[in-house]
Amino acid sequence: MTPGFNIADYRDLEPSTRVLMGPGPSDVPPRVLRAMAAPTLGHLDPEFLELMSETQALLRAVFKTENALTIPVSGTGSAGMEACFANLVEPGDQVAIVVNGVFGTRMVDCAGRLGAEVISIEAEWGRAVSAEAVEKALAGKQPKIFAFVHAETSTGVLQPVADIVALAKATGALVMMDCVTSLAGVDVALDDWGIDASFSGTQKCLSCPPGLAPLSFNEKAVAKLRGRKDKVPSWYLDLTMVGDYWGASRKYHHTAPINMIYALREALRIILEEGLEARFSRHLLNHNALVAGVEAMGLAMQVPSEERLPTLNLVRIPDGADDLATRKALLTQFGIEIGAGLGPLAGKVWRVGLQGHSATERNVMLFLVGLASVLEKQGVKVRPAEAVGAAQAVYRAAR
């Protein structure tokens, strides 16, 4: 044993109770935590194999798809992104990517590492990309893949889908969508929208701990995967093998995260018990109340109303407010976690999440009162009573 090491220095695990209102993770329902604590089965145990099939069926319902290859990849949402690109992109492929935030930038990096010829379609951070910009960028091009972020976590933008997908389809491209911060919080309909490949993460609107990345490939995406000239460059994320484990043959690839699958299955059950449309309405209601409160307080939102993402809200930092001190005070005094701005928005905005189990009237009201209290102590002029009243009016109107 290392000299000076004393096991008594390592106390029992007792994490503080937080209200998770940042960009993720979100609060996890007690039912999901209890599911994680169930006895661990073997990854080839017949009981577990049945739970795998049930999890896939539940995922298809939430993704609104019939895709056979719909599975949770072992890893966070970024592993889902890497899996989609690594399996579908071959060296020399043209890959068109919409970039209007951090996660579009990550897509560019990922595709470039795989030897793709990247067509970067740039848009202002904090705004959706226009169909006109996509049409101009794709003129005369025939990309193999067209990728975009449905809900950009770094900017709070919800990207309109129909027009840009139609433009991409016209070039013959497969369409890949990042729905990490949208799945189960706003409408996601893979089959109706013509999405060929999509990925998400468990820690956002699914309200499951981070550790799995649900993804879905349709038959066109699977055909591109099966028609590769070379092996998938990632052994761990090779869906020709991982898919066999989740498919009919149940062929061993790697040891699945058993208890995380339990958690995801329970989280999906909760979502479908609530109902997708009811869940989307709940997120939108709480978003509208938060926006009404923020604006009545005297602050401003970053994203135009028609492009706002209900599950991740960007609030502009007012003059005189200290970014870090405000976030620290919210955490220590009220137990509320919110996120800082990223990239060009660093120091200019706060990112306030309303995702899954965290999207509640209680949390909205707690945040508004807490933020007003912290800002007043910094000498920032705000209107707490008006903020509370405006949010309450939104809730009253919905009852």
Where does the chain have alpha helices with state H?
A: 30-36, 46-63, 77-88, 102-113, 131-138, 162-170, 190-193, 219-226, 239-246, 258-274, 276-297, 323-334, 361-377, 384-398
User: pLDDT tens across 276-297, in order?
Assistant: 999 999 999 999 999 999 999 9
At 266, phi and psi to the nearest 5? Answer: -70, -40
pTM score of the predicted model? 0.96
User: pLDDT tens across 237-267, in order?
Assistant: 999 999 999 999 999 999 999 999 999 999 9
CB 179 within 8 A of CB 188: yes
Q: Domain 276-398 is classified in which CATH homologous superfamily? A: Aspartate Aminotransferase, domain 1 (3.90.1150.10)
Domain 30-273 has CATH 3.40.640.10: yes
Residue 231: which pLDDT band, with cuts at 50, 70 and 90? very high
Please state the domain extents for the chain: 30-273, 276-398
User: pLDDT tens across 332-379, in order?
Assistant: 999 999 999 999 999 999 999 999 999 999 999 999 999 999 999 999
